[in-house]
Amino acid sequence: MVKIAYITLLGRSPWAVVNTYYKLLTMGKKADRIYVFTEERYRENLPKVVKALEAISEAYNLHPTIETKIVPDYGFFVADRKFRELFSKLEREGYRMGLDITSGRKALVAAAIVQIRKFPVSFIVYMGLLDLDFPDRPYMMIPTHMQPIKNFLGDEDEGHQ
């Protein structure tokens, strides 16, 4: 059985993190561990994001370990090092990685993608939101065709072509 570590990047939209995780669960993608990376300026959103990830996981009878990592604002050098260290550790422990870049800011997204390419990766996803009338709603309250998801590794492409 493949062990998956899910890494998500929290930027200004907590809903983007929560909704993408929910979407992935509906697609059958499950994680044994979850890591939420964010910059200092968004740290106040971490408790509610963790609580939401726990609640959604529980609804699917899953109990992943959830950890948070905070980097300085615009701390791409620190982020680069933290991602490399985490991905190395996860690889040694036999994990494949899934990366969600939906909510992430450029510095974190760039650092994560540059580092993860050297490790065993299952998916790198981004979920769009085609109608900005729905930015702060739960996944199930937004029409699914307005939330296309793209796996940049090419396993699946849902939504618009």
Contact partners, residue 99, CB within 8 Å, separation at least 6: 7, 8, 9, 112, 113, 116, 121, 123, 124, 125
- The amino acid that residue 102 corresponds to is T
pLDDT of residue 143: 63
Instruction: List, for residues 89-130, the tens digit of each pLDDT value.
Output: 999 999 999 999 999 999 899 999 999 999 999 999 999 877
Domain map (residue ranges) of the chain: 4-151
**Mean pLDDT of all residues in the chain?**
89
Residue 140 clears pLDDT 70, i.e. is over it: no
pLDDT of residue 142: 63
pTM as predicted: 0.90
- Residues paired with 8 in a beta bridge: 36, 100
- The amino acid that residue 100 corresponds to is D
- Residues paired with 37 in a beta bridge: 9, 69
CATH class of the domain whose range is 4-151 = alpha beta
Cross-sheet strand order for the sheet of 95-100: 65-71, 33-39, 3-10, 95-100, 121-127, 149-151, 157-158
- 58-76 average pLDDT score: 95
The percent of residues in the chain predicted with pLDDT above 70, rounded, is 88
* Residue from 96, 24, 95 nearest 60 by CA: 24
pLDDT of residue 44: 97
Q: What is the crossing angle of helices 46-59 and 14-26, to 10°? A: 20
